[in-house]
Structure 1
């Protein structure tokens, strides 16, 4: 019997293109319960997929500060979120309905 090694699933492994990242971010906006937790998590995942070091350079924030702000227990200021969104090349969308 062959033994398989299992790897923990990580969404970052599936965020390869700008389109995939944008779709993931849009889904987080749609599904967020109103506290920003899904948006923050999605931004953290996309940041890890793109590279936290380059994002830190692009935002003017530290790598450690980004990890902390975008972590499960993070509580980033809106200005931080907007810096991250802009540096990742993402946009917020609104729709009425």
Structure 2
């Protein structure tokens, strides 16, 4: 008998539609220290909302968004800021906790 399971992606997408959850998810990715991990997480957040919707709101074409959000992406500040804004987030800077 097959056990019915739900893909984690379905719950992740629903969770990432909440800006608070999305911010925590992205902050966890930033804590990893890898820009590739952050861009993968940002791509998850963008996919939750919909790349087409973000493209329309940011005036960036979808192909450019996919390139920006790839692990090899190197988004410009303006593009990164636009994508974050479209999902209800913004960039901020914190004091590093040095122990």
Structure 2: 5+ residue stretches without partners: none
Q: What TM-score does the superposition give when structure 2 sets the normalisation length?
A: 0.75
Q: Hey, what's the Cα distance between the residues in 1 that align with 2:78 and 2:61?
A: 15
**Per-residue deviation at 1:61?**
0.3
Structure 1: 5+ residue stretches without partners: none
| Cross-structure match for 1:59 | 58
Give the aligned length.
Answer: 94
Q: Hey, what's the Cα distance between the residues in 2 that align with 1:18 and 1:83?
A: 15
Q: Hey, what's the Cα distance between the residues in 1 that align with 2:55 and 2:82?
A: 10
- CA RMSD, 1 decimal: 2.1
Q: What TM-score does the superposition give when structure 1 sets the normalisation length?
A: 0.76
**Per-residue deviation at 1:37?**
1.7
